[in-house]
Amino acid sequence: MEHNDFVLLNQIKYPCDLRKMPLEQLPQVCEELRQDIVKELSVNPGHLASSLGVVELTVALHYVYDTPEDRIVWDVGHQAYGHKILTGRREQFCTNRKLHGIMPFPSPAESEYDTFTCGHASNSISAALGMAVANKLSGKDSDSNRHVVAVIGDGAMSGGLAFEGLNNASSTRNDMLIILNDNNMSIDRSVGGMKQYLLGLSTNETYNAMRFKLSQWLHSKGYLEEDRKNGLIRLGNALKSAISHQQNIFEGLNIRYFGPYNGHNVIELVRILRQLKNMKGPKMLHLHTIKGKGYEPAEKAATIWHAPGKFDVNTGERIVKDTSGKPQKFQDVFGHTLLELAKQNPDIVGVTPAMPTGCSMCIMMDEMPERTFDVGIAEGHAVTFAAGMAKEGLMPFCNIYSAFAQRAYDNIIHDMAIQNLPVVLCLDRAGLVGEDGATHHGAFDMVSLRAIPNLTVASPMDEHELRRMMYTAQLPDKGSFVIRYPRGNGVLVDWKCPLEEIEVGKGRKLHDGNDVAVLSVGPLGNDVADIIKEHEASDAAVKVSIAHYDMRFVKPLDEAILHEVGKKFKRIVTVEDGARNGGFGSAVLEWMSDNGYMPSIKRLGLPDQFIEHGTVPELREIAGIDKESIRKSVINT
């Protein structure tokens, strides 16, 4: 479908244009918006199924609420493509996730309609509550009648921060609306007690309508004064529980609950939102939606179509690159190696917070479901849960994306490292991840973790090193062990190798030299090795003699190598794919200073800024860690 075929969508540049349309035209607007998203993402890949599932909700919200004056706070921003298209970015949407294009997730830096950064899950309720309280304190909720809505979904309700926000919302004066987009999915299918609870939760719509009318009447008679309201709500909740024989956790927190309703009936959604819009106190609207709604392939396989890459709109066939004869993804090497180790060691168990497919723990999960645990979007719990199993003699491999592990920092320190428990924390997507941008780059793991006592922090240069590190980490008496590795493919077609122990804290010299020493950690070491080979084979008039050390470990550092380098070289270049300030290079600099060596040290890593979205090669060039930047630093300095 061409742009000219979108009769109604072409009339909408901003939500104010949408609000001029008659209610009966909204279903067609939804149909056109859904087709526009499918068409755009077929050629410019992104998060498809999540945004398709909230098309009707997105249209209804912007139709009922006076955005951007009213605040819509999205949770897990990959739901928000329709929101972007309706808020002045339709013409730019073809640049989504591209370098210098529109951002992959909502951001206030991009649009006034984006009220809060939302690349990670579970923050919407807390942020929206803060906005609602700020409005009350400033008088804006009465003077301008500003409304605040939090939209939470895609499994984000299982996150601890969501419960913290609910708990505070129940006891803090506010009028915000929380919309639970319940599609029984995160990226993979949702798991856990909250999923089961929501599946069974139902409230009679007639009851909701009667209660709303009754509350309006009580308010008009003066019976719903603030000091009486909570008591009446508790009484109503008790009566409903007695009638329905079902407890409602939200109403138990004095948050008025409505639903569940069909989230794909836009006319009905508008009616409900209009009823709830000016209702006082915190409210929960529970909607049932279908992830991938309206595009059959995405409805049938929502996990695959969460971010499917390019595809043919008409046939639903994904355009998948031929990977035969090419290196495996690091995550797949992890998954296959974990299963291999688990077959040898009956104490090994796997833990992941809602990413079994993304991190490839599904490989072990398919064969050993009783020894793998998807704990939902709950990274802190994942670490502490793993630590509890380790305390009782098991050997947990806990896999978390590097950027998401930031939410588990206290758990890593308090529950894992202080006791030096044998948990193997595997940080997938370490370093630059590409098109998902600043919220998802695994930039800070080396900086934050190298300061923690008892932790071993390792970063493999290739797939063989990953396998050896995983084998080493599960051996007795290795304590708390962290292995970080990047998103995407490795460098070895023949990635299998014998499982051999690596001495903890022991690096390796890959190339000898006399003029400059390059100390690398992680996969950028492959570029350093290529640079040395190319330089030696070049016809440069002046050749630089380059030594290369793959340090393997950020903590502990190989002090034997550092003494060797400190005594021999006046120039050192450190290379890492994490934040430069406080990272691996800083650790080398500190060690040299502490031990009386005074070489010139050039540190290459991510600069002191948040790196935008784009392809990994584009972003590495911006960050100064692409091959040419490394070459110049090594050869020309």
97, 240, 293, 407: which is the annotated catalytic residue?
A: 407
Would you call 407 a catalytic residue per the annotation? Answer: yes
For the purposes of burial, counting CB atoms within 10 Å of the CB of 605, is it exposed (0-12), middle (13-18) or buried (19 or more)? Answer: buried
Would you call 484 a catalytic residue per the annotation? Answer: no
**What contacts 24+ positions apart, CB below 8 Å, involve 267-275?**
267/23, 267/24, 267/26, 267/27, 269/56, 269/57, 269/60, 270/23, 270/26, 270/60, 270/63, 270/64, 273/60, 273/61, 273/64, 273/65, 273/177, 274/64, 275/212
Cβ atoms of residues 176 and 150 within 8 Å: yes
How many other CB atoms are there within 10 angstroms of residue 622's CB atom?
18
From CA 574, how far away is CA 520, in angstroms rounded? 6
- SS3 of 336, please? helix
DSSP 413: I
Q: Where are the alpha helices (H) located in 371-462, listed in sequence order? A: 379-391, 402-405, 409-411, 445-449
Q: Where are the alpha helices (H) located in 146-225, listed in sequence order? A: 160-169, 193-200, 205-220
Contact residues for 571 (Cβ-Cβ < 8 A; gap 6+): 515, 516, 517, 599, 600, 602, 637
71, 90, 283, 291: which is the annotated catalytic residue?
A: 291
Contact residues for 156 (Cβ-Cβ < 8 A; gap 6+): 75, 76, 121, 122, 124, 162, 186, 377
DSSP 434: S
From CA 274, how far away is CA 64, in angstroms rounded? 6
Question: Smallest Cα–Cα separation from 57: which of 82, 75, 40?
Answer: 82
Q: Indicate the length of the chain as a whole number.
A: 637
Question: Phi and psi for 458 in degrees, rounded to 5?
Answer: -125, 155
- SS3 of 303, please? coil
32, 251, 379, 465: which is the annotated catalytic residue?
A: 379
**Token pair recorded at residue 299:** 């409805």
Would you call 631 a catalytic residue per the annotation? Answer: no
Active site residue ranges: 291, 379, 407
